[in-house]
């Protein structure tokens, strides 16, 4: 399991915007099953980049859990998140803290989406 806390004082906004992934570690390919992003996502590009990295590179990922805070960006963020192709066809994306219901976004599915 991977826990990421984007609220860490050690990771300032300038540092977060420069997050780069140059390679995929073997453990990510072969054994990572759960990712829980515990910080509240505010729609920053770096959060999307981190989520995209795990979804596109984790071959046996079962669940990616994230929390949305700002209802103004929820629909757009979730739509972009669900458009990301997934390496694991069984990966479930769980979005917590949404003010609007998922049923209001009838064209989107939060589980089993694979592009």
Instruction: List, for residues 27-51, the tens digit of each pLDDT value.
Output: 777 788 999 887 666 656 777 888 8
Q: Is residue 111 part of a domain?
A: yes
User: Model pTM greater than 0.75?
Assistant: no
- Retrieve residue 26's tokens: 């073997």
**Integer Cα distance of 65 and 95 in angstroms:** 6
pLDDT tens track for 52-98: 989 999 999 999 998 877 665 677 788 888 899 999 999 999 888 75
Q: Is residue 2 part of a domain?
A: no
pLDDT computed for residue 27 by the predictor: 73
User: Beta 92-96 vs 63-68: how paired, if at all?
Assistant: parallel
What is the Cβ-side half-sphere exposure of residue 109, based on CA atoms within 13 angstroms?
A: 8
Range of the domain at 58: 26-115
Centre a 10 Å sphere on the Cβ of residue 41 and count the other Cβ atoms it contains.
24
Q: Is residue 83 part of a domain?
A: yes
The total domain count for the chain is 1
């Amino acid at each position: 399991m991977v826990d990421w806390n984007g609220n860490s004082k050690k990771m300032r906004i300038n540092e977060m915007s420069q997050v780069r992934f140059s390679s995929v570690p073997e453990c990510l390919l072969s054994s990572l099953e759960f990712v829980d992003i515990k910080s509240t996502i505010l729609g920053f590009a770096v959060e999307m980049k981190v989520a995209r990295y795990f979804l596109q590179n984790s071959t046996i990922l079962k669940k990616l859990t994230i929390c949305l805070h700002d209802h103004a960006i929820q629909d757009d963020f979730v739509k972009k998140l669900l458009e990301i192709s997934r390496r694991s066809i069984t990966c479930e994306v769980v979005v917590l803290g949404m003010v609007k219901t998922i049923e209001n976004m009838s064209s989107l599915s939060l589980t089993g989406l694979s592009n």
